[in-house]
Amino acid sequence: MSIEKSKMIKKRRRSKEKGWRAFGFWLGAYGRPFSNPALSPYVFPLFDLFSFSLFLQFPWLTINMTTSLQLLKRTLRKEMATRLKAVTADSINSQSDGVFKQLIELDEFKASKSISVYISMPTCEINTRAMIRYILEADKTCYIPRCTKNTMDMVKITSWEDYLSLPINKWDIPEPPLHQVRENALDVNGLDLILVPGVAFDSDRNRIGHGKGYYDRYLLKYQDWATRNNKPMVKTVALALQEQIVDLGTIPLEQTDQKLDHILTPLQKL
C-alpha cells in the first residue's frame, strides 16, 4: 500500500471518529431522556444550526440523526401505549367530561364558528363524542378528518344523525368514505379551531402523534392556504388525558413538528 493511500485511509478514519464523537454529543444534548430538561428550550433552537454544521462536514451523519430521532419517537410511543392501556374506561369518561367543561369555557372555542374535531378511538384518549354533538347543536359548523394513505382533509358533517350514519374504519372510528361528496373546509372559508389528538404532550405545548404525520402536514398545508387567501392561521387545541402529559424534554422534536396554541387536560390549560 502506498504512503499516500495509507494517509488517506487514516484521514477518513479520523474524520468518521470525529463525526461519531459529535453525534454522541448530539445524542447526549438532544436525545431522550434529557439529563437536564431545563436546558431543552435552549438546546432545541440550536439544533438546526448544529445539524447544518455537521452536514457540511459529515453529510452521512445527518442520516443517522434522523434515524435516531425516529427511534426515540417510536420508543416513546411504545412507552405511552403501555401507560395508556392501564387507564380505565371510567377514568377516560371522567377525564373527558372534565376536558369538555374546560373546552366550552375556552375563549377560542366560544369565538369559533367553524371547528374541526377528531373522532376519538375507543380507548387511550379523550372521548370527543359529546363535543361533536355539542358543536353540531350549537351555532357552529363541524368538520371531521378524512384520511387517505398520505393526506388528510377536514370535511363537514351536518347533523348528529349524519355522524351516527358514518361507517367504521380500520381504526375502529367513524369516518366518511372517500367517494362520499362532502364540503372541504379549505374549499370554503377555512377553520377557526382544530381540536387535535396525540399520544403525548408537554408543558411547552409540544406534541407527539401516532406517527403518520397527518396533523403536522395539514397545519403546514393550512398555513400555505391561509397565506394565499389572506386568512389568519387556525388555532389549535389539544385534548389530553392527565396520563398523556410528560416532562419537558421527553418529546423528541423535528423541524416539521407543529407547536400547539393550547393543551387542555382535566386539571389545567397549558
In the chain, the percentage of residues whose pLDDT exceeds 90 is 55
Amino acid symbol at 172: D
Residue 10: pLDDT band with limits 50, 70, 90: low
Contact between 195 and 115 (Cβ < 8 Å): yes
Grid coordinates 438546546 are at which residue?
43
* Identity at 37, one-letter amino acid code: P
CB 256 within 8 A of CB 218: no
Judge contact between 130 and 98, C-beta under 8 A.
Answer: no
How does residue 210 score in pLDDT terms, banded at 50, 70 and 90? confident
Instruction: Work out the pLDDT band at 46, boundaries 50, 70, 90.
Output: very low
Instruction: Say what angle helices 40-57 and 3-30 make with each other, to 10 degrees.
Output: 160
The residue among 238, 243, 262, 265 whose CA lies nearest residue 97 is: 265
Spatial separation of the C-alpha atoms in residues 265 and 244, rounded to whole Å: 9
User: What confidence score (pLDDT) does residue 66 get?
Assistant: 61
Amino acid at 218: Y
d(CA 198, CA 196): 7
**Residue 13: pLDDT band by 50, 70, 90 thresholds?**
low
For the packed helices 61-85 and 3-30, what is the interaxial angle rounded to 10 degrees?
30
Region label for 57, one of left (φ > 0), alpha (ψ between -120 and 50) or beta (otherwise): alpha
- Is there a contact between 143 and 154 (Cβ–Cβ < 8 Å)? yes
Q: Where does the pLDDT of residue 237 fall: very low under 50, low under 70, confident under 90, or very high at 90 and above?
A: very high
Contact (CB, 8 A) for 193 and 237: yes
Domains of the chain: 3-85 (no CATH), 89-264 (3.40.50.10420)
Integer angstrom CA distances of residue 23 from 1, 33, 52, 171, 269: 31, 16, 13, 38, 37
CB 218 within 8 A of CB 152: yes
